[in-house]
Amino acid sequence: MRVIFNVDAITAPLTGIGRYALELAHGLARHEAIEELRLYSAYRWVDDPAHALAANSTIAAIRRNVPFKTQALELYQQIRGGLFRLHTRRLRGFILHTPNYVLMPFEGPALATVHDLSWLSYPDAHPAERVRFLERHLPETLARADLVLTDSEFIAAEIASRFALPRAKIRAIPLGVDAAYRPRTAEEILATLARHGLAHSAYLLVVATLEPRKNLARLVRAYAALPTTTKARHPLVIVGGRGWLNRELEETIAPLEAAGIVRRLGYVGEDELPQIYAGAHAFAFPSLYEGFGLPVLEAMASGVPVLTSNVSSLPEVAGDAALLVDPTDEESLRDGLARVLDDSAWRTHASARGIARSRAYPWSRCVEATIDAYRAVNVA
């Protein structure tokens, strides 16, 4: 098979969609079923997956520093689409896969990965320009795509329902977890934790982009309601890049940061993040809505007891290996945090179950299932 794969999602800081695109790009490049792989980013070809992060640095800087405006997004989409059409006009026998929602113009078979419908379910948790952009372009992508890929059965069912798309046109392919996420001894991660002022098994961790859908303000309030001794033993450590629409979070977190019981580490690179996970006493991820919830899988693989939400795709990913709570109920959140921090018997069970469950989600499984989807549209 010959594949054109969009890699413009592979930008720093690398979050869930970027990680998905990077892992797929690596897996496709190594797979014997792929005769030719062409990687396209924004407006040009990229040599290989390892170069994508560097090649996309200019685009990442523009996204950070230039305000999102509807007209600018539409103009960019038109120029990008025109360049892609120009660059692919002589290519024949290729499949196009866009791993980040919106397809570019292409005459051959095409697949798009739609990770979630959060912009539709929680529009107030997104910049208005992003919502308008997806409202305009995603229905066209769903109509044009030969197959739509999703990260979970929950999202597959939601797409089918909301857009009246035949379920046979949608494939749920779970994400994977890297082998770097594993249990580690205190000695093994001592240096990394020391650089961040952390101690092994002495903090409650959350890893999430700082944006409203992650429900961090409610988590912080629930954490603040825990006994003083619990907070002293296990400060809340937040890892994640700067997001958007965070006034409530900033107002909620400020007094607890001043008291030293909540700490923000910002974005942590891939070289250190698995060690930060492995050093945590417990992990909390009470998101309001997820297409998959990769941090839950990473925490479980690290042997860390997990609290997460009982909504969207998160029960599908966590199974019986995590404590599921109502993310809108601060009392339930508080009680759940107390359990994952202090219930020794439950913690031991959850750690073992999480490790076992995570082993069913290697990235190789995601790659193989994606190639199966390519075969389906290639035959069609």
Higher pLDDT, residue 212 or 60: 212
> 140 and 281: one domain?
no
pLDDT of 58 over the 60 cut = no
Q: What's the mean pLDDT in 342-357?
A: 97
3-class secondary structure, 242: strand
- Which structure tokens are listed for 214? 């992650």
User: Do residues 132 and 238 share a domain?
Assistant: no
Q: Provide the pLDDT confidence category of residue 62 given band limits of 50, 70 and 90.
A: low
- Average of per-residue pLDDT across 160-189: 97
Look at residue 263 and tell me whether its pLDDT is greater than 90: yes
- Pair 263, 369 in one domain: no
When divided into structural domains, the chain yields a total of 2
pLDDT value for 379: 67
pLDDT band at 13 (very low <50, low <70, confident <90, very high): confident
The DSSP secondary structure of 60-84, one letter per residue, reads: HHHHHHS---HHHHHHHHHHHHHHH
Tell me: do 170 and 203 sit in the same domain. no
Q: Same domain, yes or no, for 256 and 167?
A: no
Computed over its alpha carbons, how large is the radius of gyration of the chain? 21
Return the SS3 of 173. Answer: coil
In a domain, 86, yes or no: yes
158 with 11, same domain: the answer is: yes
Per-residue confidence (pLDDT) for residue 63, from 0 to 100: 54
| CA separation for the pair 198, 361 (Å, rounded) | 29
User: At residue 317, what is the residue type?
Assistant: V
Do 102 and 141 form a contact (C-beta atoms < 8 A)? yes
What is the domain range of residue 297?
190-358
Q: Token digits for 311?
A: 């909504």
Binning pLDDT at 50, 70 and 90, where does residue 67 land?
A: low
Query: Looking at the DSSP assignment, which residues form a beta bridge with residue 237?
Result: 205, 263
Q: What percent of the chain has pLDDT over 70?
A: 93
107 vs 174 pLDDT, higher one: 174
**Are 171 and 198 found together in one domain?**
no
Range from 157-166, 233-242, 273-282 carrying the lowest mean pLDDT? 233-242
CA 59 to CA 77: how far, in whole Å? 13
33 and 69 within one domain: yes
DSSP assignment, residue 89?
T
Q: Which residue has the tokens 């750690």?
A: 351
- Are residues 195 and 172 located together in one domain of the fold? no
Q: Do 61 and 131 share a domain, yes or no?
A: yes
Q: Strand 306-309 to strand 282-285: parallel, antiparallel, or no bridges (unpaired)? A: parallel
Give the whole-angstrom CA distance, residue 158 versus residue 357.
25
Question: Do 46 and 26 share a structural domain?
Answer: yes
Distance between CA atoms of 223 and 236, rounded to whole angstroms?
A: 8
Per-residue confidence at 57, pLDDT binned at 50, 70, 90? Answer: low
CATH of the domain at 89: 3.40.50.2000
CA distance 371 to 95: 11
